Amino acid sequence: MAAPWIAPSILSADFARLGEEVDAVIGAGADLVHFDVMDNHYVPNLTIGPLVCEALHRRGIKAAIDAHLMVRPVDRIVPDFARAGATYITFHPEATEHIDRTIELIREHGCRPGLAFNPATPLDYLDYTLEKLDLVLIMSVNPGFGGQRFIPSALGKLEHVRRRIQASGRDVRLEIDGGVKVDNIQAIARAGADTFVAGSAIFGSPDYAATIRAMREQIARG
């Protein structure tokens, strides 16, 4: 399996000091910067968009940006995130009219496409998409807010998707998002995740490096 990646969600960062917060979390050992985009339409909250992504990219941050789009429609905003320096662009199948077209659009713009599954979204959407994806995101909370409790049925979904990725023989990251903490990350890794989003668990802790290190230790216990 691929090396584990820790992806702090900047949703829980101090937005008044966002640049410093991102530098700090990368300095603390983060592999990816998880960038939650909410539109008060697809999800009941409003966050940050391409201008903020571009500002972080221009700052010269030393980690790839993992843009998680919780917006409807999706296609209009994809080129903006590509220009703004996103590496991964992940969207929700319910939020677009033509899933395959959106995947192609992300790829055409030089980014890596990801598909996100809400807690009650069936995995059938992988049937004709997995061969075109670079990332599958399993939501372990309902999207819209940080600091929610992990929904345990996500573990079974991870196991299922891990088997499908293995059968595909392709290099696809399996990401978990929502309620990930030091004390449940080992079970999450065991279920097959290799990419771990954590917002409140990291930004709410006094020592980002210590928290990320503790997460890595739990994952390594296997």
Task: List residues with catalytic annotation.
Answer: 36, 177
Q: Decide if residue 39 touches Zn ion (CB under 5 A).
A: no
Q: How far is the CB of 204 from Zn ion (least distance, A)?
A: 16
Please say which residue, 15 or 163, places its beta carbon nearer to Zn ion.
Answer: 15
How is residue 97 annotated by DSSP? Answer: S
CB nearer to ligand DX5: pick between 172 and 202: 202
| Cβ nearer to ligand DX5, comparing 153 with 166 | 153
Residue 88: strand, helix, or coil: strand
CA distance 44 to 196: 23
Binding site for ligand DX5 (CB under 6 A): 9, 11-12, 34, 36, 68, 141, 143-144, 146-148, 177-180, 197-201
Given Zn ion, ligand DX5, none, residue 12, with its beta carbon under 5 to 8 Å by kind, binds: ligand DX5
Cβ closest to ligand DX5, residue 169 vs residue 206: 206
Helices (DSSP H) in the chain: which residue ranges? 18-27, 50-58, 78-83, 99-108, 153-168, 185-190, 200-203, 208-221
Q: What span, in angstroms and rounded, lies between the C-alpha atoms of 212 and 35?
A: 18
Q: Output the smallest distance, CB 68 to Zn ion, in A.
A: 4
Query: In three state form, how does the secondary structure of 42-80 look?
Result: CCCCECCCHHHHHHHHHCCCCCEEEEEEECCCCHHHHHH
* Nearest distance from C-beta of residue 178 to Zn ion, angstroms: 7
Q: Which residue is nearest to ligand DX5 (CB)?
A: 199
Instruction: Give the Cα separation of 7 and 103 in Å (integer).
Output: 22
**Using CA of residue 135, residue 140, residue 143, residue 148, what is the dihedral sign?**
negative
Single residue of 35, 68, 69, 93 touching Zn ion by CB under 5 A = 68
C-alpha to C-alpha distance for 76 and 22, rounded to whole angstroms: 27
- Picked from Zn ion, ligand DX5, none, the partner binding residue 90 (CB below 5 to 8 A depending on kind) is none
User: Interface residues with Zn ion (CB under 5 A)?
Assistant: 36, 68, 177
